[in-house]
A and B are shown apart, each in its own frame.
Chain A
């Protein structure tokens, strides 16, 4: 159980919602709420991970050759960008705990920029796939792919999983903007910074999803062993 500090600052009282007895109960409830929400997100992505595992096991050659069509270096760079954004987010949470308004805003802006970079690179990758006829649908034509009948499954999962991930990042970006606005008004301080903390949980979760997606989508059989 985290240590509870009780303060009686004016801003503390204003943050307390009417149906809670005290600010500790409110923070506790919000924290459990965010964790429960993240559990639902695990199950949500889980469905696509299941489809991925089923089809990869059924068509290993198709998945291996299709995975080699992704750009390893861009993917790795993007992974680094996202991990850095998690660092800046953690720093933002820490700044909020310290009550340092300017630092909170700075780190939130950095997180936003890094997240935006990730999304921009992703958009480039999507465009690149479109141009090379690697988007499933009528114009699909995977050049040099083994087991062409089943490679669309890989790409469908690629777009589905990274698309869902990107959607979560876009929503996250919107929330960061909202938090920046609140931070600038001085809403967050040592006693009350729950929204920043809980959003941090969400952002780290989205990062972790990517950490699973990267090897599953970009790193299959880079050594060329699967026939």
Chain B
């Protein structure tokens, strides 16, 4: 552990190196680009959250008494599109990945800094498309855009929104491409693959999915836009097409997409657990390979979204068994994280609270995935609130907890400031409680048979819905708090030392915040990863 000299924000770091809006908007510094992305994803998270609040408000009563059906249908559609494409997919890779990967591998920047900046502009443009379509009136197809409703019946702005998502895909592809080349070719001397931090392994696996899967959703949306414009019949039986083909093509990307959303979060959790147990991760190789296994297997399970779609029984069986196989690597990670804490020296800090929360909630979310992989049970549960509860457990209880944990863990490094530990721990607890109250009742609603995307529902479902809406307000509060104390810390928080947590990865060997060029001299790695000993990294000039 590096024992600290009195912490002082260095005079020149990447934040104050140059001044002016133009220096930020035309930056090629991966750290500044990470901050630009942070601003973007935070905005879209708030917008998506606003739609969530409206949904839960409406669902507190069985009748459709807040808004009319067409408007409600737009609420859940915009909530899904914004949260999936404009928040979850970019969040950890584009914010934390961009900021940290070059630092973690001892590089000066990513392989293609200008492409990195381009990817941010593409992301913001796609957001503009989606916002424009929202202001024009929005779209009501659900984020899944099933045909022929989306191609021939919807009165919403399918083309504008579809194009927006199409564009956002290129941002994701470029990020993934950049990371793959960076990790392959820009590692510091001595940094072999198996000395890499597991955060980097997680992002490498994620990048594989991004480059292979995203083009398929791009072409699918392109065909949908053509269909809507020219009534061609790719997917509409009225013109000779097959609506189930759309579902296959859509889910071929959108299932791997969920692993884009969760793998980086798992990488964050590994880093946090190891640092706050002061112990190297149990089963490093297994954790590394499990990320790759999830990426590979994630591509061959998409049919589990089509069990009742008229897909053949035999195809259903193949997809079901593969869906169980893809769950095993995640289980391996959970067991390895737990074992890391065994005989460690555990500090329950705010990042650790989020990481532990992740483990609990992701476990529940992942296990409920097994219910849905189960053919006989899925026939009953698919398209009900059980599915909604499942994916919110993994996406919010998992991915977002990981994102928040990562923000809190690396905040001192990124901004050179410490936040108030009391408020941050309180918020973590509020988020945990609010989250469970919001989404656990939805498992019960699902088995009861309440379908998803319902604006009105039979009165016997009200009690559980009210519980869920109450939880949502607590969850919303829990998300609002970090926004307050984190921003407050920027001005009033104490300066952060280079390594406040006693971590061992390379980013903690530079100042907080780092200088623009990251390292004054390129580090040379001579030890295995996660060596918790007084002298862990040797700098050679």
Q: State whether these chains interact.
A: yes
Complex alpha-carbon distance, A18 and B223, angstroms: 41
> Is there contact, CB below 8 Å, between A33 and B108?
no
* Assembly CA distance A149 to B107 (angstroms): 59
Contacting pair A47 B220 (CB below 8 A): yes
Q: What is the minimal beta-carbon distance from A101 to any residue of chain B, in angstroms?
A: 26
What B residues does A48 contact at CB under 8 A? 219, 223
A165 CA to B243 CA in the complex, in Å? Answer: 25
Choose one: B185, B223, B233; the contact of A47 (CB below 8 Å): B223
Chain A residues, CB < 8 A from B177? 33, 36-37, 40
Of chain A, the residue at the smallest CB distance from B235 is A51
Q: Could you tell me which residues of chain B, from 186 to 226, have a CB within 8 Å of some CB in chain A?
A: 186, 211-216, 218-220, 222-223, 226
The winner among B185, B213, B239 for most chain A CB atoms within 10 A is B185
Q: Contact: A19 with B241, CB < 8 Å?
A: no
Which of the 9-residue segments B11-19, B109-117, B131-139, B506-514 touches chain A? Answer: B109-117
B185 proximity list for chain A (CB < 8 A): 25, 28-29, 32
Q: Which of A19, A29, A33, A150 has the most CB of B within 10 A?
A: A19
Residues of chain A contacted by B245 (CB below 8 angstroms): 51, 54
Do A153 and B234 contact each other (CB < 8 Å), given the known contacts A33-B177, A33-B181, A51-B245? yes
A contact residues around B249 at 8 Å (CB): 47, 50-51
Question: Closest CB-CB distance, A9 to chain B, in whole Å?
Answer: 23
A39 to B209, CA, bound (A): 12
Cα distance, A11 to B181, chains bound together (Å)? 25
Interface pair A29/B111, CB less than 8 Å apart: yes
Q: Give bound CA distance, A81 to B230, whole Å.
A: 31
Closest to B241 in A: A153
Q: Which residues of A contact B452 (CB under 8 A)?
A: none
* Given A47-B220, A54-B245: A32 in contact with B184 (beta carbons within 8 A): yes
Write the chain B residue with the least CB distance to A39: B211
A46-91 interface with B by 8 A CB criterion: 46-48, 50-51, 54-55, 58-59
Q: Say whether, besides A19-B107, A32-B181, A51-B245, A153 and B233 are in contact (CB < 8 Å).
A: yes
- Whole-angstrom CA separation of A153 from B232 in the bound complex: 7
Interface pair A36/B180, CB less than 8 Å apart: yes
Contacts of A41 in B (CB 8 A): 215
Chain B residues in 8 Å Cβ range of A153: 232-234, 240-241
Find the residue from A17, A28, A36, A41 having the highest chain B CB count within 10 A: A36
Question: Do A46 and B239 touch (CB < 8 A)?
Answer: no
Residues of chain A within 8 A of B220, CB atoms compared: 47
Chain B residues, CB < 8 A from A32: 180-181, 184-185
Which B residues lie within 8 Å of A51 (CB)?
223, 234, 245, 249
Compute how far the CA of A59 lies from the CA of B237 in the bound complex, rounded to whole angstroms: 13
A39 to B212: give the CA distance in the assembly, Å.
Answer: 7
B60 / chain A contacts, CB cutoff of 8 Å: none
Say yes or no: B232 contacts A156, CB within 8 Å: yes
Compute how far the CA of A137 lies from the CA of B231 in the bound complex, rounded to whole angstroms. 6
Within 8 Å CB of A18, what residues of B? 108-109
Asked if residues A40 and B212 are in contact (CB atoms below 8 Å), the reply is yes
Instruction: Confirm or deny: B389 has a beta carbon within 8 angstroms of a beta carbon on chain A.
Output: no
Asked whether any CB of chain B lies closer than 8 Å to the CB of A186, the reply is: no
* Complex: A158 Cα to B240 Cα, angstroms: 16
> Are the CB atoms of B234 and A47 closer together than 8 Å?
no
In Å, the complex CA distance between A223 and B433 comes to 70
CA distance A17 to B177 in the complex (A): 18
Which chain B residues in 474-528 approach chain A with CB under 8 Å? Answer: 522
- Is there an interface contact between B233 and A46, defined as CB atoms closer than 8 Å? no
Residue-wise interface mask of A (147-185) relative to B, using a CB-CB cutoff of 8 A (1 in contact, 0 not):
001101100100010001000000000000000000000
> A29 and B230 in contact (CB under 8 A), knowing A39-B212, A43-B212, A48-B219?
no
Residue A136, interface by CB 8 Å: yes
Query: Is there a chain A Cβ closer than 8 Å to B383's Cβ?
Result: no
Interfacial chain A residues near B536, Cβ < 8 Å: none
Are B234's CB and A25's CB within 8 A? no
B108 pairs with A156, CB closer than 8 A = no
A55 to B212, CA, bound (A): 23
A217 to B63, CA, bound (A): 54
* Structural contact, B216 and A43, CB atoms closer than 8 A: yes
Q: Is there a chain B Cβ closer than 8 Å to A130's Cβ? A: no
- Measured CB to CB, the closest approach of chain A to B191, in angstroms, equals 13
Complex CA–CA separation, A40 to B233 (angstroms): 26
Q: Does A124 contact B (CB under 8 A)?
A: no
Known A-B contacts A54-B242, A137-B231, A150-B240; the reply to A156 vs B226 at CB < 8 A is yes
Give chain B residues whose Cβ lies under 8 Å from the Cβ of A55. Answer: 241-242
Q: A32-B184, A136-B233 are in contact. Are A19 and B219 (CB under 8 A)?
A: no
Neighbouring B residues of A37 by C-beta, 8 Å: 177
Among residues 42 to 74 in chain B, which have CB atoms less than 8 Å away from a CB atom of chain A? none
How far apart are A122's CB and chain B's nearest CB, in angstroms?
18
| Chain A residues in 8 Å Cβ range of B184 | 29, 32
Chain A residues near B234: list those with CB within 8 A.
51, 153, 156
CB of A49 to closest CB in B, whole Å: 10
Cα A159 to Cα B109 in complex, Å, equals 42
Task: Determine the chain B residues whose CB is within 8 A of the CB of A28 once the complex forms.
Answer: 185
Complex alpha-carbon distance, A50 and B251, angstroms: 14
CA distance A152 to B230 in the complex (A): 11
* A44 lies within 8 A of chain B by Cβ: yes
Given known contacts A18-B108, A29-B186, A156-B226, A44 and B218 CB-to-CB distance under 8 angstroms: yes
B211 near A40: Cβ-Cβ < 8 Å:
yes
Residues of A within 8 A of B111 (CB): 19, 29, 33
| Interface membership of B173, Cβ < 8 A | yes
A49–B185 Cα distance when bound, in Å, is 33
**A36 and B239 contact, CB distance less than 8 A:** no
Question: Could you list 9 A-B pairs, sorted by A, with CB under 8 Å?
Answer: A19-B111, A37-B177, A40-B177, A40-B214, A59-B240, A136-B232, A156-B230, A156-B232, A164-B222
Known pairs A19-B109, A41-B215, A47-B249 / 6 extra A-B pairs, C-beta < 8 Å: A19-B110, A36-B181, A40-B212, A51-B249, A153-B234, A160-B223
Give B residues with C-beta under 8 Å from A: 107-113, 173, 177-178, 180-182, 184-186, 211-216, 218-220, 222-223, 226, 230-234, 239-242, 245, 249, 522
8 tightest A-B contacts by CB?
Answer: A47-B219, A44-B215, A19-B109, A43-B215, A156-B232, A19-B108, A150-B240, A29-B185
